[in-house]
Amino acid sequence: MWVMLPGSRPRVVAAEAGRQGRNLVEQAQGQLHEQAAEGQQRIAKKLLSLSDELRSMAENSGQGVAVDVTQQAASRVRDAGHWLEKREPGQVVNEVQSFARRRPAVFLVLAAGAGLVAGRLTRGLKDATAGDSTETAIPATAPGLGRQPARPADVAGYPSYGEGVPVVTDDPAAYRNTL
């Protein structure tokens, strides 16, 4: 039979809380690693797919500098996809950190370029989905104004700001024919 001594209860509770906290941290780390690995594999597959598309574009084109550049880009994108596919997320982080330490200027330029590309892709996707789901709004017209867009005052029947308001001026010509 197990007997608890006075004063030992807080230590038991603290030990149990510590054990549960460590388990929670281990679970979170495992899930984070799993999600990072899945995301990394998705990116690797997209890079390989992009490489195939670039290679197909180059093969279907004629000859020239653009075709050579496209073939080189396809080759480099394919290499990057394979490299990413073969590594664990921690290895990728270590490689990126190492590269950033060795060549900080190049790293910053690449990071800025990647951010620019990601922003443009995001904007393009947003615009594409917005264009598919909404129609262009046509402004309402007020009665008697023809094709002119209506202003809030026109619709309510009240004059717009400044319309029908007497103007105070020192010019006597402004008051001719007012009565």
Give, for all 179 residues of the chain, the pLDDT tens digit.
555 666 678 888 888 999 999 999 999 999 998 999 999 999 999 999 999 998 998 888 878 888 889 899 999 999 999 999 999 998 999 999 999 999 999 999 999 998 998 888 888 888 877 765 555 555 555 555 555 555 555 455 555 555 555 556 677 776 666 55
Q: What pLDDT digit, counting tens, does each position of 135-152 carry?
A: 555 555 555 555 555 555
Q: Which of 74, 48, 49 is nearest to 61 (CA)?
A: 74
Compute the distance between CA of residue 31 and CA of residue 35 in angstroms, rounded to an integer.
6
Tokens standing for residue 145: 């104004």
- Spell out a b/e string for 112-140, using b for 16 or more CB atoms within 10 Å of the CB, else e: eeeeeeeeeeeeeeeeeeeeeeeeeeeee
What is the model's pTM? 0.52
45 Cα distance to chain centroid: 20
